[in-house]
Amino acid sequence: MRRFQISTLWILSLIIGTFNICPAADSQELMNAFEQMRAAALDTASTAAVDSLLIAHQDMELLLISGHLAFFQPIEIDSTAHVFGAYFVGTGNFRFTPQSDDPKMKARHHFETDKVELETKRVFFLFSGEIYKKIKAELKWSDSIFTSLQNEDAQSSMKRLYKDENNYFIFEALRSLLEPPDRPFLMANVQNYTWSKSHYYLYNPMSCEEIRLYQNKVRGPNFAQYMIPLCCYSYCSPSARITGEVALPQIAVDHYEIDAAIDYDGRLTAKTTMSVKTLKAPAQLIWMNLHEDVQINEIIDETSQPVKYLRYTDENNKSENLYLFLDRPHEEGAEFKLTFRYEGNLAERSEHLVDGDMVDDFSVTAGADWYPVYIDRGAATFAITYRTPKDKDILFESDGKMVEKYKDKDQIVSIWKVTEPTYNVFFDIRFK
Residue 118: Cβ within 10 Å count = 17
Nearest to 175 by CA among 204, 200, 146: 204
- Reported confidence tier of residue 163, pLDDT bands at 50, 70, 90: low
Q: Is pLDDT at 371 greater than 90 in this prediction?
A: yes
Rounded average pLDDT over 292-320:
86
Residue 117: Cβ within 10 Å count = 12
Q: What is the DSSP string of 286-304?
A: EEEE--TTPEEEEEEETTS
CA distance 301 to 251: 15
CA dihedral 330, 334, 335, 341 (to 10 degrees): 0
Whether residue 372 contacts residue 288, with contact meaning beta carbons closer than 8 Å, is answered with yes
Average pLDDT, the chain: 80
Q: Is pLDDT at 299 greater than 90 in this prediction?
A: yes
Rounded average pLDDT over 7-23:
37
CA 29 from chain centre, in angstroms, equals 20
* Backbone dihedral angles phi then psi of residue 139, each to the nearest 5 degrees: -95, 155
Residue type, 132: Y
Q: Is pLDDT at 345 greater than 90 in this prediction?
A: no
Q: Identify each DSSP E strand in 152-198 by its residue range.
A: 186-191
Q: How many residues does the chain have?
A: 432
DSSP 24: P
* pLDDT score recorded for residue 158: 80
**How does pLDDT run across 174-189, given as a tens digit for each residue?**
999 988 887 899 999 9
- Per cent of the chain over pLDDT 70 is 78
- Give the three-class secondary structure for 376: coil
- The half-sphere exposure of 72 on its side-chain side, counting CA atoms within 13 A, is 29
CA distance 328 to 409: 42
Q: Where are the alpha helices (DSSP H) in 17-147?
A: 27-39, 101-111, 129-138
Domains of the chain from N-terminus onward: 2-240 (no CATH), 251-431 (2.60.40.1730)
* pLDDT score recorded for residue 334: 95
Which of left, alpha, beta for 34 (phi over 0: left; psi -120 to 50: alpha)? alpha
Higher confidence at residue 332 or residue 353?
332
Higher confidence at residue 70 or residue 9?
70
Q: List b or e across 140-178, with b for residues whose CB sees 16 or more CB atoms inside 10 angstroms.
A: eeeeebbeeebbebbbebbebbbebbbbbbbbbbbbbbb
* Backbone dihedral angles phi then psi of residue 9, each to the nearest 5 degrees: -60, -45
Q: Give the pairing type, strands 211-216 and 227-233.
A: antiparallel
Q: List b or e across 84-106, with b for residues whose CB sees 16 or more CB atoms inside 10 angstroms.
A: bbbbbbbebebebebeeeebbeb
The dihedral sign for the CA sequence 156, 159, 164, 170: positive
* pLDDT score recorded for residue 222: 45
CA distance 347 to 427: 11
**How does pLDDT run across 113-143, given as a tens digit for each residue?**
888 889 999 999 999 989 999 899 888 877 7
- Reported confidence tier of residue 21, pLDDT bands at 50, 70, 90: very low
Residue 314: Cβ within 10 Å count = 10
Q: Is pLDDT at 93 greater than 90 in this prediction?
A: yes
Q: List b or e across 238-275, with b for residues whose CB sees 16 or more CB atoms inside 10 angstroms.
A: eeeeeeeebbebbbbbebbbbbbbbeeebebebbbbbb
